[in-house]
Amino acid sequence: MRKNLPLPITVSLDTIQSLLPQIDVFDTISRGFIAYSKGEAIIPPVGELLFEQPPGEVHIKYGYIKTAPYYVIKVASGFYHNPSIGLPSSQGLNLLFDKTNGQLVAILLDEGHLTDVRTAVAGAIASRALAPGRIRSMGILGAGIQAELQWEYHRRILDFEQVLIWNRHPGKAKQLALSLQQKGAKAQAIETPRDLAEQCQLIITTTPSTTALLEKNWIQSGTHITAIGADMPHKMELDPQLVVAADIMVVDSRAQTQTQGEWSQALRAGLISGREPLELGELLENPALGRRHDQQITVADLTGVAVQDLMISQAIFDHIK
């Protein structure tokens, strides 16, 4: 006789948002990266779908940690024209399963919010690990949901005096700057990526660009860059020469950055030979591997790893089960 299994818990976006402040997301995500870099996580290649009319993309990420009780399957999409029809650009859900029997235990209807948060948290973690000691100006390329969240999570763990924002559409940069001003930030829109680079000691790139936005010669000594936009093989935000020139290059996953991310673009350009980047989990476990002085240029190339989705989904589930 078939045993009747309990129904999975369905968790709404409102509930997820109410629970997130109770979770130390920085510690949660950091522990996931460390486990991944120690070989304790099983993370298959990312599944991807691309759409042209209207333009959009879907990411399917999944995996588990050997010592954890669950595995996760995450579906997250980005449809760039959604705001024009009154919908958020991000959508999706996370499915959490019992690793011992395959039972679905939780359906997290996060509408892409957990992906947005775990991405912003990872960016802030990488910046904290690599940024110079004094940051006068933080620069953000992009003006969407992720740009605002990067500012929000960076300000929780790093000090900086002002934030400069660039976007292909100047009006969007001005709109985000105004929004951040209303939250107490000293923020302003800036005309070009070069102007931003020449003034900032910390730069976060959050765009879906397919061409380089930051050139090597624009970057000041001592700058740290966290690049998160190039999460598919056709995307890039950094000049490959900048990637090669970085004194320290950190990625979230060496395996993924063979085919996506800024490191992969430099590989395809034939600019890298006999060199491997450091993984973020390795740096978090051994901070001595990071920045040695404030004149070094450092880059974190984050393509997003399913271990982040697992850790944040499990943390939500643990607060409600």
Query: For the chain, what is the radius of gyration of the CA atoms?
Result: 19
In terms of domains, do 311 and 286 share one? no
In terms of domains, do 154 and 301 share one? yes
Q: Is residue 127 a part of any domain in this protein? A: no
In terms of domains, do 173 and 192 share one? yes
Would you state the structure tokens that stand for residue 246, as one six-digit string?
Answer: 């970085």
pLDDT at 18 (0 to 100):
97
**Residue (of 193, 256, 254) closest to 225 by Cα position:** 193
b/e map of 106-140 (b: 16 or more CB within 10 Å)?
A: bbbebbbbbbbbbbbbbbbbbbbbbbbeebebbbb
Domain count, the chain: 2
Q: Is residue 153 a part of any domain in this protein? A: yes
pLDDT at 69 over 70: yes
Cis peptide before 69 (omega within 30 of 0): no
In terms of domains, do 169 and 247 share one? yes
pLDDT at 80 (0 to 100):
82
What tens digit of pLDDT does each residue of 269-293 get? Answer: 899 877 899 999 999 999 999 999 9
What percent of the chain is modeled with pLDDT above 90?
87
Are the C-beta atoms of residues 114 and 191 closer than 8 Å to each other? no
Higher pLDDT, 90 or 193: 193
What tens digit of pLDDT does each residue of 182-204 get? Answer: 999 999 999 999 999 999 999 99
Q: Is residue 124 a part of any domain in this protein? A: no
Average pLDDT, the chain: 94
Q: Is residue 3 a part of any domain in this protein? A: no
pLDDT at 2 over 80: no
In terms of domains, do 157 and 290 share one? yes
In terms of domains, do 145 and 97 share one? no
Q: What pTM, to 2 d.p., does this model score?
A: 0.94
Are the C-beta atoms of residues 141 and 237 closer than 8 Å to each other? yes
pLDDT at 1 (0 to 100):
46
pLDDT at 280 (0 to 100):
98
Question: What is the dihedral sign for C-alpha 245, 250, 251, 255?
Answer: positive
Q: Is residue 184 a part of any domain in this protein? A: yes
In terms of domains, do 211 and 279 share one? yes
Q: Is residue 167 a part of any domain in this protein? A: yes
The CATH number that applies at residue 198 is: 3.40.50.720
Overall size of the chain counted in residues:
321
The enclosing H or E element of 149 equals: helix 145-157
Q: Is residue 203 a part of any domain in this protein? A: yes
**Residue (of 291, 316, 306, 255) closest to 127 by Cα position:** 291
Residue 89's pLDDT band (boundaries 50, 70, 90)?
confident
Range of the domain at 143: 132-305
275's CB contacts (< 8 A; 6+ apart) are none
In terms of domains, do 137 and 281 share one? yes
What tens digit of pLDDT does each residue of 110-121 get? Answer: 999 999 999 999
Distance CA 269, CA 243 (A): 11
In terms of domains, do 149 and 263 share one? yes
Q: Is residue 205 a part of any domain in this protein? A: yes
| Residue 11 DSSP SS3 | strand
Inter-residue long-range contacts of 109-112, CB under 8 Å, 24+ positions, other chains counted: 109/10, 109/11, 109/12, 109/13, 109/16, 110/11, 110/13, 110/16, 111/13, 112/76, 112/77, 112/78, 112/88
Would you state the structure tokens that stand for residue 179, as one six-digit string?
Answer: 């929004």
In terms of domains, do 314 and 288 share one? no
Distance CA 182, CA 280 (A): 33
In terms of domains, do 291 and 255 share one? yes
The CATH number that applies at residue 106 is: 3.30.1780.10
In terms of domains, do 165 and 296 share one? yes
Higher pLDDT, 225 or 2: 225
pLDDT at 105 over 60: yes
